Amino acid sequence: MQDYMVTNQFIFLFALLLIVSVVVTKFSTRLGVPALVLFIAVGMIVGSDGFGLVYFDNAHLAEAIGIFALIVILFEGGLHANWHSMKPALAPAITMATIGVLLTAAIVAVAAHYIFDLTWLESVLIGSIVGSTDAAAVFSVLKGQNVKERLSATLEAESGTNDPMAMFLTITCIELISGPGPGVLSMIGSFIWEMGAGAAMGLLIGFVAVTAINRINLDTSGLYPLFALSFALVSYGLTSVIHASGLLAVYVSALYIGNAEITYRRSIIRFNEGFGWLMQICMFVLLGLFVFPGELFTPNLMIKGFLLSIVLIFLARPLATFLSMLPFKYTAKEKVFISWAGLKGAVPIVLALFPLIAGIDNAQLIFNAVFFVVLLSTVLQGSTVTALAAKLKLVEPPTTNEIETLELISIGRNNLEMVEYKPTELNEISGKRLEDLSFPETTLINAILRSGEIISPNGQTVIKAGDTLYIMVALQYKKQLAKYLRRNKLTKE
């Protein structure tokens, strides 16, 4: 009976935390602070040093939940990524995700050695942990902003692909601290294998996923989002078994799936978007519970953490960015923005759990230092990214809307789909008659919803901004239709 009561209390507390965390996202926009900071704050408030409602210090469980959450977040981010936009930014992004992380880690390591009086290996460990940007933080801050497409694509690709480098460096440092580690050649070979095999596995599993989603006729459409998510877990698990980068495989497979023609696309993306938010909330609240504010916010740690943060934000990341981007044609303003938008978040905190699990000396100090640096970086940089983009004039004009697929009436088995589109004033089709539109073959506007009324369209019907168009299109012409609908009066693209 007592166990039953404890279970009920846990469920009630979890529901309460979830409601509070969802509600605080409303305030994150108004306060100009990334939601993940408020999620962490919720965890710290209800933790043992706060109201004392929950005591949590299980590093193994925190790591497991953190890794699972990262899989979901990376998968959701990859599904939304546009390969057409990302392709030109891939080379600089990968350079930042490898050389940039390495340079950042090296500079932070030197600072950590003198600020915290740690050994060189322990200092390199701190640098390795905070060297990467965080996908969850970057995705959430850039979402909905009109930052230049090339810059947002570079940042998203970097944050989606730099986790393997940070994890590789972290694990290598822990092995070296714990005992005789691998040789230099072995380390280089291992890294090449992890990245290469991880990317290859991601492409393979992405191809299998797209084929399975399109060819297997499940009994209900609600199973397709779960079916797609299962391939994200397969990507990580199977790739990790062969000692390659599972996180990279997840992101690459999601990128492949998200840019392929798949049935029930809208359901799959919407489900993973909601599940991604759930995982962000769970992960950051849990990490907030894991921290003891009484140990974190001591004068000594705060002063040293502040100094290390200054080095990271104003020296290590900018220097690594400018050096890594030398071969590429980015302006000084663009490099400054990429440097400032290299947000820290869940990945460094999860990686900071590894030393605790390994039981190395100064593991708690390393975790607290990383947590403080991440918190300060997220608050300072995350709250000013949008303003900086506007100040540097790196914001593009408002874009046109994307088309939406209506799966409830989808007849994709017959190679036809119904799509929904809402044109804005910027759309080239706004103000034109239907007979003047250059739609692809076998494309038909079935209905127009205007001011709450349904209009039966004919050739003389004029499309107005704010209308909702319901368009039947053959699957092979869907991309062509989407490109035509998105044409912008200002850019002619």
> Distance between CA 263 and CA 413 in Å, rounded?
9
> Are the CB atoms for 261 and 332 separated by under 8 Å?
no
What are the CA-CA distances from residue 88 to residues 266, 296, 336, 378 (Å)?
A: 26, 42, 19, 28
Question: pTM, whole model, 2 decimals?
Answer: 0.79
Q: Which long-range contacts (CB under 8 A, 24 or more apart) does 19-23 make?
A: 21/281, 21/285, 22/277, 22/281
Token pair 């990262």 in the structure block, residue: 70
User: For position 410, what pLDDT does the model report?
Assistant: 46
Q: Summarize pLDDT for 389-437 with one digit per residue, the tens.
A: 889 888 876 655 565 555 544 444 456 777 888 888 888 888 888 888 8
Cβ distance 121 to 105 under 8 Å? no
User: 146-170 pLDDT, tens per residue?
Assistant: 778 888 888 888 887 887 888 888 9
Mind listing the pLDDT tens digit for each residue in 357-393? 988 889 999 999 998 998 888 888 888 888 888 898 8
pLDDT (tens digit, 9 = 90+) per residue, 112-128?
999 999 999 999 999 99
